Every structure is written in C-alpha cells, then in structure tokens.
Amino acid sequence: MTSFHKKSLSLSSINGTKLKNNLPYISSGIPSLDFIIGGGLPVGGIFLVEEDVLGSYSRVLTKYFLAEGVVCKHDLFIASADENTEEIVKELPQVCTVPSDEKVNELSSSEMKIAWRYEGLGQVESSFGSNANFGHNFDLSRHIGIDTINNCNITHCRLEQNENNLNSFKNDLYYTLLIKIKEGLIKEEYNINSKNKNILRVCIQSLGSPVWMAMDCDHDTNITYGQDLLKFVYCLRVLLRSTNAVGFITVPSHLFDDDRIMKRLLYSVDNAVRIESFAGSSKETNPVYNEYHGLFHITKLSAVHSLVPFIPPSLDLAFKLRRKKFVIEKLHLPPELQESSEREQDDITAIPKTCGGFKKKDIDF
C-alpha cells in the first residue's frame, strides 16, 4: 500500500455523477443525449433546450431530467410561470428495471460462413449510448409513486406577476426566480468544497414564453424586447457555476420573432440543443422520416474545464420516442425493401410513340 491517494476520488462520491476533467457530470435521464453532448451535463453549467412547436417532446425531456434526479436522490428545484409544477412532478416516469430490448440481442459468437469477410467488423450502431452504464431508461407509461416523490427534496416555484418597481429587471418574474434560486443554493450541500455534497437540479420550464415576455413588451420601444431574458440567463450562469447545481432550461424559441435573442442566449449557456418535431409539419408524411418523430439539433457544445470541446460522431440526428426509451440516432434513410414500380419496362407510358404508344404529357390526369 502506498500513501498516495488520488485527490479526485473524493469528488466522485456524489450519487449519480461521474468525473470528467475534474468536474462531476450528471445524466440528463436519456443515455443517448448524454452521449451526444459529451458524457452528460457538467455540474455548475446550464443546459438549454429549444422547445418543439407544440412543446410535447421538450416536456418529455424535462420529465426525464427530473426523474433521473429522483432516482439518484438529487434535490430538485422546479420553476414555471405557465403551469403548476406539482402537476409535472406527478407525471414523472418510473425507471425501467427490465433490461431494454437491445441488450437481449447479444452478439452471436458463431463464425460467419458466407459473409466471413464482415466478421471482423464492429456492429453498426446508429443509436448512441445504449451500452453506457450511466443514466437510466424510464417507462413513460408508469409514474413514480407519491411516496417516493414525497421523500425527495423538491422545491416548487410557482411564479406570478407582481407590480413591483425594480431597478435591475423590468419584469419582476425574473428577479423573483433569481432570488429564489439563490436562496435555494445557500445550503451547505451545494457548496463545491463541502464534505456532504448533493446535486441540485434546477429546472425552468418554458422560460421566455409569452407569460414572461408580457412585461417586457409593455414599453414604448421594441429595443428592450428580450433583454430581461438575456440578463436572467447570464445571472443564472454566474450563480450556478461555482455550485453543485445544474440548470436545465427549456425555451420556446420559435415564439421569438427576433432570432438574435437566441444567438446571444447561446453565448451564456454551456450546452444547447433544439428539438424539431415532425408533428404538424410536412415532414410528418415524408417517407424519409417515417421511422422518427423529429430531428435533434445540437446548437452549442462548450468545453468546460478543458480546451477541447466534445465532437459528436454526427450532427445529423433524429429522435424517436418509445414507451421505455427516448432514442437519439444518427439520421439515416429507411432501407429500400419494396420492389420499385418505377422500372422503365413496367411503365406503360414509356413506350415509344412510334409503336402506337403515347407520351406522359398527353395524359391529363
């Protein structure tokens, strides 16, 4: 035995975290999302999700993030101005105990007889993070029991407008929320140097939605539009960065008519993704996308405590939501299985005119 002990070992003692670059990372609740953003969400950082138009998938992401927190016994702070946060907590999915379908399909060890040349090749896998043992999968059809929820340390923050005159913010919702987060962070557990550490998952749903913007728009000029939102996110970044807390924000960016707001917001956050759901768009019926529910865009990846940012294997990503899994995959075209009827000899319209045939353009319908 030597007396040498790696200093970083003490840091990894928080439940549900892993160390990377001397910084704890937590899981977002979706193993494939953790993989594409470089191993999870860095503690002290902000993760931003640009909501899909109907907001249904971003809501699922929020639920996964919170459910993962419940499973890992992290503390939760949930804020929303649009809906009752207690309703969100009631619908948190339960963790899957049964191994997922993919694990059953173990690689067969038998030798290939015909296509033996392909034996040495690794299995092509378009979905990410399925063999990582960090994070959990959740079953959306079953909800976490109320007893478990009650045992968790959850802070609800229901925000309501007050007519306060503030120097720092025009919209007092932002100020109230910042103060509440600051009060929540006072606990010794969230101090990075404390011995008995725990993670605080700060989740803000639909930040900057019309309820938040209403006060911003009161003024005569349009110049200040979105300013409070930018200020809030920056202040949140400063508040969180030296603590054991992680910010998870969903923003309905499709409602902003000024796209500069989003570009400037991205500068203040650490990682950001955008969900583009096919629901209600023309892509819903496009055969290319029929395997997926939407596209998944990575809009920002930053290197925290390191110079080199994570490079995901692909930026063409799509997602599908199954009952027991939210899968993010490399977008690929569906296999061509049907026999095509487009062959020239089958097409009666392609017979040359000289043989009594007719041209396509002669057909009226």
Q: Which residues bind another protein (CB under 8 A)?
A: 21-23, 166-169, 175, 178-179, 182, 227, 230-231, 233-235, 237-239, 241-242, 259-260, 263-264, 266-268, 300-309, 311-312, 315
Residue 101 CB, nearest approach to another protein (Å): 31
Which is nearer to another protein, 90 or 263 (by Cβ)?
263
Q: How far is the CB of 244 from another protein (least distance, A)?
A: 13
Minimum Å gap between C-beta 227 and another protein is: 6
The residue among 60 and 235 lying less far from another protein, judged by its C-beta, is 235
C-alpha pair distances (Å), 212 with each of 166, 204, 261, 268: 16, 12, 14, 19
CB of 45 to another protein, least distance (A): 10
Nearer to another protein by C-beta: 166 or 214? 166
Contacts by 171-178, CB closer than 8 A, 24 or more apart: 171/212, 171/214, 171/215, 171/216, 171/228, 172/215, 173/81, 173/211, 173/212, 173/215, 174/212, 174/228, 174/229, 174/231, 174/232, 177/79, 177/204, 177/232, 178/232, 178/235, 178/236, 178/239
Token pair belonging to 5: 């002990």
Which residues, 6+ apart, have CB-to-CB distance to 343 below 8 Å? none
CB atoms within 10 A of CB 296: 23
* Residues 136 and 29 sit within 8 Å (Cβ to Cβ): yes
At closest approach, how far in Å is the CB of 58 from another protein? 21
Whichever of 71 and 295 has its CB closer to another protein, that residue is: 295
Q: Which is closer to another protein, CB of 311 or CB of 337?
A: 311
Distant-in-sequence contacts of 95-102, Cβ < 8 A, 24+ apart: 95/67, 95/71, 95/136, 95/137, 95/138, 95/139, 96/136, 96/137, 96/138, 96/139, 96/324, 96/325, 100/130, 100/137, 100/324, 100/325, 102/127, 102/130
User: What is the four-CA torsion angle of 222, 223, 228, 234, rounded to 10 degrees?
Assistant: 150
Nearer to another protein, 57 or 77 (CB): 77
Query: Shortest distance, CB of residue 263 to another protein, whole angstroms?
Result: 4
Residue number with CB closer to another protein (59 or 231) = 231
Q: Is 263 helix (H, G, I), strand (E, B) or coil?
A: helix
We find the least distance from the C-beta atom of residue 157 to another protein, in angstroms, to be 16
Nearer to another protein, 237 or 330 (CB): 237
| Residue 280 vs 309, nearer CB to another protein | 309
The three-point CA angle 56-161-83 to 5° equals: 25
What's the closest the beta carbon of residue 27 comes to another protein, in angstroms? 22
> Please, what is the minimum distance in Å from the beta carbon of residue 37 to another protein?
12
